[in-house]
Amino acid sequence: MKSLFLVVSLIFLLVMSLAARASYPEFFGASYSTTAIGNQANLDPNDPSNNYYVPATLGFSDKVNILMQATTTVTEFKPMSNITITNSTNSRNDPTTGNVQNKYPKFYGGGVHFALPIGYEHLGTLGVSVFMPIGNLMETNSGNPFLPEYVMYHSRYQRTSIYVNFSRKWSDDLSWSLGSIVGFQASADVKTNLSLNGAAYGSWGQARSKIAPSLGLIASVLKKNDQSKYYFTYQQEMKSNLHAIVAGEVNNPSLALFESGFDSMIFYDPHTFRIGSSYKFSEFGSAELFGAVEYQMWSSYKPPTIYISKIGGVIVSSGNYEKIKIKDTINPRLGLKIDLTDRWSTGLGLGYRMSPLDGDFSGSGNSIDSNTYILSTGLQYRIVIWSKDVNLGTSLEYQQLEKKHVEKTTGQENGSAGPKIGAGGYDIDGYVLAASFGIKFNF
């Protein structure tokens, strides 16, 4: 039977390679210029990365704007020592203790933003933003199904995401936009016939998979005057579900039939309501203050843990012990941009990300997260090539997780006597560093 489960696991891993995760800009900013002021819109009509935050901004520009950047992200979480790592929910043996290192690999990604005027009389602007892992079209990791997992960092932002918007200037001081975030839904159907050693003929299999796009609404409006700008953006939730059915039999000799379903929510972007503004200090002429607040609705979120259900045959369904509590979040942002000279500018940003996972994590399940304090900065340099503006920029962001101690309640997840996985106590603690470098062209 171990061979049977091994084969089914390998099949599902192949299917999972087609799936994706959640977007990068939600956590670390859409570009070096927006990261530098605290992961919010800079409201420059000639900066196409505003297509993510406030697409209506682009309606005030009649130029072709292109921004490209590379990013890297490093996580550093505190190891967890001498906690329970097995009990009767995932092992036949007595409960054992061990260490969880929480060593996640570095992430390397890229982003490309386009803003293209449409029509000779500027009927509007088409904005396109693409975020992707470098070296992969898509990447996924469901995480360990039992041990503590920082689910917002291990399995959320390492995926390709696309944002497409049309923006139009309504008047000299008002613009609007309408567009979509593009997601994916994946499904697969796998049939196998497995022959063991000594069989008269070999194993065979048949597989069918499908990835279908799904769309979520994005709408925004921007109002401006000589010194200030005000905006509102709504982004609909986007989730990617994977469903696969694996069926077959083990024969020669005949051992078992199996038919199981595999389900996972690979990524989830919440309903997001974003309001913000900027104020330019005309008395100084070299500084601009930015502020924004995001309200996010997380009620449909699920961890990316794989759930195996029994449809028929001998396979036993997964134990569903993940008992997370979800809450909506409010995330404020504050930023300052200063023009040091006519070529050099710098930015400073502060932010706070409220965790959507509620509670003290003392019960069943080991999806963990905590509130995060954000500090960011950046530097830009403007040059002119053939009378066209070219901007070089870089940014650095530091995220500090709010420390929280976890103590598990007594009793195993399945109700048996003994310690829960994670028992012995551990700290949720660590930080994240994100850096980017990019270039922007205006034609």
Q: Which residues contact 341 (CB under 8 A, 6 or more apart)?
A: none
Q: Which residue, among 330, 329, 344, has the nearest Cα to 378 in the 3D structure?
A: 344
Pairing relationship of beta strands 174-195 and 161-171 according to DSSP bridges: antiparallel
pLDDT in tens, the chain (443 residues): 444 444 444 444 444 433 334 478 999 999 999 999 999 999 999 999 999 999 999 999 999 999 999 999 999 999 999 999 999 998 888 899 999 999 988 989 999 999 999 987 789 999 999 998 887 666 666 778 889 999 888 756 767 889 999 999 999 999 999 999 987 777 788 787 777 765 567 777 888 888 777 889 999 999 999 899 999 999 999 888 878 888 877 776 566 777 888 888 878 889 999 999 999 986 656 899 999 999 999 999 988 888 888 888 777 888 888 888 999 999 999 999 999 998 999 999 999 999 999 999 999 988 999 999 999 999 999 998 888 889 999 999 999 999 999 999 999 998 899 999 999 999 999 999 999 999 999 98
What three-state secondary structure class fits 8? helix
Return the CATH number of the domain spanning residue range 2-442: 2.40.160.60
Token couple for 252? 């020669």
The span from the CA of 204 to the CA of 257, in Å, is 15
Burial (CB < 10 A; 0-12, 13-18, 19+), residue 391, is: buried
The span from the CA of 365 to the CA of 145, in Å, is 9
Query: Quick check: 389 and 442 in contact, CB under 8 A?
Result: yes
What three-state secondary structure class fits 59? helix
Query: Quick check: 422 and 83 in contact, CB under 8 A?
Result: yes
**CA 191, 192, 196 angle in degrees (round to 5)?**
170
Task: Give all strands (DSSP E) within 91-237, no chain letters.
Answer: 96-100, 107-118, 124-133, 149-150, 161-171, 174-195, 204-224, 228-235
Q: Which residue, among 79, 146, 78, 140, has the nearest Cα to 107 in the 3D structure?
A: 140
Q: Which residues contact 315 (CB under 8 A, 6 or more apart)?
A: 4, 5, 8, 258, 259, 260, 308
For the chain, domain boundaries: 2-442
Which value, in Å, is the radius of gyration of the alpha carbons in the chain? 25
Query: Quick check: 109 and 73 in contact, CB under 8 A?
Result: yes
Query: Quick check: 162 and 129 in contact, CB under 8 A?
Result: yes
The span from the CA of 13 to the CA of 158, in Å, is 17
Cα dihedral 413/417/420/425 (nearest 10)? 150
Query: Quick check: 294 and 331 in contact, CB under 8 A?
Result: yes
The span from the CA of 437 to the CA of 70, in Å, is 6
The span from the CA of 153 to the CA of 75, in Å, is 8
pLDDT at 179: 97
